[in-house]
Structure 1
Amino acid sequence: MTDHDLDAQAKQLDRAHVFHSWLAQGGLDLPVVAGGSGATVWDHVGNRMLDFSSQLVNVNIGHQHPAVIAAIHAQADRLATIGPATANLQRGEAAARIVSKAPDGFSKVFFTNGGADANENAIRMARLHTGRDTVLSTYRSYHGNTGAAVVATGDWRRQPNRYARGHVHFFGPYLYRSEFWATTAEEESERALRHLERVIQSEGSETIAAVLLESVPGTAGILLPPPGYLAGVRELCDRYGIVLILDEVMAGFGRTGRWFAFQGYDVVPDLIVFAKGVNSGYVPVGGVLISDEIAATFDERVFPGGLTYSGHPLAAATIVASIDAMESEGIVDHAWRIGEDVIGPALRELQERHPLIGEVRGEGVFWAMEFVADRDTREPLPATRLGRLKAEIVARGVMPFAAENRVHVVPPCVVTADEVAQAVAAYDEAISLVEAAG
């Protein structure tokens, strides 16, 4: 069978048997990916693409990092699986590595299969710890596709999936499209905090178990919190006895150029939800970092939750190898520097030349270009034109992350300056074509 035959077979089997998430199934024509290395993937024939999506913004360490692959092999040779009701060295080492990156006052990790069930269990812990029920989260958010996580989500995916109780939404800060008639970041922060406090008071603070926030909302647009906002949310939670859960599933482990995104915003939560970048998705895993105060709630009380694959040894091995490699190779610092020195300046230069780009925002390897039909009105670019833009970017050998009227620039943390230049050139050409077409 030739390489062309392998690509054709991959597409045929996919169309015949695979049911894909978040897509209408008819007429799909998805790219074949057969291999990868670093920030590049390729099909069986060898056609290469720069992966500036990091797949689902999770391949932080890059594709096929040799240390992580070696760890999978070594653990599979030693012990492929074991149940959670055991002590396992790799599981303990993984938890210790994660705790070492957390603030003081965190000693325990509850492992899950991914980010959605990590959010589910964080919500459960908050409710049991406080004896309250309601969870507040923002309209511009995504927390996963399981029962409570998808109802905590603020975007359209919540609406056909409302099967969980006790969820209330509020507006978080987003100065470019302010809900609060703000004109400065300081106004946006102050008014968003006032709005949140009024929601807390109106819902009844004594009923609210948790405020659940993405430290930096990702799928919603890479919305960096304005000065004082997260610290202000912390103060409100303290004032009203509410647990603060920060969802670091997408923003954590190098994505913002820090181990945790919240470490740049003068805040310490009570529960930290993680997944994705902790091992770059090489084996499914997620979890909750639990503050010592909340962990103590369950010293003499059974925690009513668990998963067959909690702390799976293959996943644990990849966490250990990933964190060790990111430390020894300076990958997190690299992500910060390349964002500051290369990605940010290049995207802002594109914005200066292209009127379709309304705003550029981000940090580390976590950026978004927001496209508008008119800069003065900030009318979002129509979906048809963004679809054309995405197709033109793909045609130039770059795999983009596109959502609504945005293209997110989210390569692996190991991306090089030359690779950024190649991707930016593809964006430049594609935007020019869409602008010319009108």
Structure 2
Amino acid sequence: MTIEQVAISESRGPLLDPSEGLRVYADDRAHLFHSWAAQGAVSPIPVAGAQGRHFWDYDGKRYLDFSSQFINTNIGHGHPKVVAAIKEQADRICMIASTFANDKRGEAARLIAGLAPGDLNRVLFTNGGAEANEHAVRMARVHTGRTKVMAAYRSYHGGTSTAIGLTGDPRRWDNDAAGNSGSGVVHFFGPYLYRSHFHATTEAEESARALAHLEQTIIFEGPRTIAAIILESIVGTAGVLIPPPGYLAGVRALCDKYGIVYIADEVMSGFGRAGAWFAVDHWSVTPDLITFAKGVNSGYVPLGGVIISDEIHETFRDRVYQGGLTYSGHPLACAAAVATISAMQEEGMIDNAARLGEEVIGPRLREIAAAHPSVGEVRGTGVFWAIELVRDPETREMLVPYAGVGAQNAPVNEVVAACKQAGLWPVYNFNRIHVVPPCNTTDDEALHGLAILDEALKIADSYVTT
């Protein structure tokens, strides 16, 4: 039996009692307010347990997790080394304020800084990615004495005030309308060759023209007013957009030229997701600040942070940094981070993620693309992939409209429903299905999930108009 099968077998009884599932569902619907959702449309599946790359409901139906939940359980569910580390830490110290030195807090910071490129040697811990981006922007503004921050369309940086203002997708719109988003944000178009804003036909053209557009925006906004440029190293929720060769190095050069802080948002792409510790490693680029969360401890206990360059650290050597959090560097979260990083190193998960992308997921997705007229493009690296669905492969009309609502999204909703019915839990956003399993997914698990997806995409094909 697999670990997952043993876990389900051992949990039979109360945990797999359908009546208990009904009680869990009733409590949820009576008392919980769900994020990013119209409350009347919420109908969650009550989850009884999870192990490895699977989770299951109270009826015992199992799902292969191709979502890694919120693309954060990078080592899968219930990893025994991390669970044991959390239990051991709870027996010693559950909570100690960040004004004290703590062994796991310091060890986690040392390990994270050791994985970061260049002279990013210090860590400010937060509770998650949105707070990390909030603090990175605050540091950049104080460091430069400037106010504006530049961020890309087709991006997501978090749901808090400044972070949602940085965000370049429709989740920002209601916050803008309510006057809640951060001020001083300027958006620009990043590279996206499949739907190029720059009429490019090659990666080299896309990179050069996107950089020229960025520099023009800097010039017209006034370089001396711009504190930072924040970029997801690989755009995540908004499309798994892999930057073309030379683009991130070009951003680094523009930041150096104009004295702008370069913030790399690695909240989603970091800690193995892209087949490297940090996605910027693929292009040998060193930002001034790196924000992280999610995969740092596989989401077992909330944790995020900012990795800080020596130069920016010096700004605050004798100047008080006016920021902090009650739970900064929470001992349970940091113990989980230490155990997660150690497990990833000892079990070769980074290499496995890179190999899966190169030898299994990428080739199989390209076969799927060739077989389905609804697939316009597949793209990705490591365990970080997207399938772009279209109604017309010639015009590249999206299968569902950008920011579509209600019945407009039916084609993708039907594909997703078919996947779930067959035991696969995917991620989707507008006209894209994302393939983002844990870094320690096996070849057989990846191929099984992709076979389910292959079958479900026949539904998308039925909507193709040519």
Q: What TM-score does the superposition give when structure 1 sets the normalisation length?
A: 0.99
Shift of 1:44: 2.3
1:259-306 deviation line (CA, Å, top 9, x unaligned):
000000131100000000000100001000000000011000000000
Equivalent residues in 2 for 1:11-22, closer than 5 Å = 11-22=25-36
C-alpha separation in 1, matches of 2:236 and 2:72: 11
Q: Deviations over 1:240-276 (max 9, x none)?
A: 0000000000000000110000000131100000000
Deviation at 1:78, TM superposition (A): 0.2
Tell me the percent identity: 58
Structure 1 position 151 matched with structure 2 position 154:
no
Distance in 1 of aligned mates of 2:459 and 2:312:
54
8 Å Cα contact 2:95-2:332 kept in structure 1: yes
In structure 2, relative to structure 1, the CA distance for the partners of 1:437 and 1:245 (3 Å cut) is: closer
Equivalent residues in 2 for 1:159-174 (5 A)? 159-162=173-176, 163=180, 164-174=182-192
Cα distance in 2 for partners of 1:154, 1:3 equals 43
Cα shift at 1:437: 6.7
From 2, 23, 31, the counterpart of 1:9: 23
- Residue 265 of structure 2 is aligned with which of 211, 223, 247? 247
| Distance (Å, rounded) in 1 between the aligned partners of 2:65 and 2:45 | 12
The residue number in structure 1 matching 2:299 is 281
Deviation of 1:161 after TM superposition, in Å, equals 1.5
Check whether the contact 2:128–2:302 (CA below 8 A) recurs between aligned residues.
yes
| Aligned with residue 389 of structure 1, among 409, 415, 419 | 415
The aligned amino acid for 1:79 is: I
> 1:381: how far off?
0.4
Deviation at 1:384, TM superposition (A): 1.3
Q: Distance in 2 between matches of 1:351 and 1:185?
A: 20
Structure 1 letter corresponding to 2:449: A
DSSP 3-state at the match of 1:348: helix
Q: Which residue of 2 aligns with 1:331?
A: 349
Q: Which runs of 5+ in 2 are unaligned?
A: 1-13, 401-408
Please name the residue that 2:446 is paired with. 420
How much does 1:239 deviate? 0.3
> Is the 2:126–2:329 Cα contact (8 Å) retained in structure 1?
yes
Report the equivalent of 1:404: 430
Q: Partner of 1:98 in structure 2?
A: 112
Distance in structure 2 (CA, Å) of the matches to 1:25 and 1:144:
20
Instruction: Name the counterpart of 1:367.
Output: 385
- Residue among 95, 115, 139 paired with 1:81: 95
- Residue 128 (structure 2) aligns with: 114
The two structures have a TM-score, normalised by structure 2, of: 0.93
CA contact (8 A) 1:216 1:251 kept: yes
Q: Which runs of 4+ in 1 moved over 6 A?
A: none
Q: Which residue of 2 aligns with 1:202?
A: 220
How far apart, in 1, do the equivalents of 2:256 and 2:459 lie?
Answer: 51
Offset of 1:104 from its aligned partner?
A: 2.7
Q: Which residue of 2 aligns with 1:237?
A: 255
User: How many angstroms apart in 1 are the aligned matches of 2:346 and 2:451?
Assistant: 32
What is the distance in 2 between the residues matched to 1:27 and 1:237?
A: 44
Q: Return the alpha-carbon distance in structure 2 between the equivalents of residues 379 and 33 of structure 1.
A: 37
RMSD: 1.0
8 A Cα contact 1:230 1:266, kept in partner:
no
1:20-71 alpha-carbon deviations (Å, 9 max, x no partner): 1111111322222221111111112321000000011000011000000000
In the superposition, relative to structure 1, how do residues 19 and 110 fare at CA in structure 2: closer, same or farther (>3 Å)?
A: same
C-alpha distance in structure 2 between counterparts of 1:348 and 1:247, whole Å:
28
CA contact (8 A) 2:389 2:460 kept: no
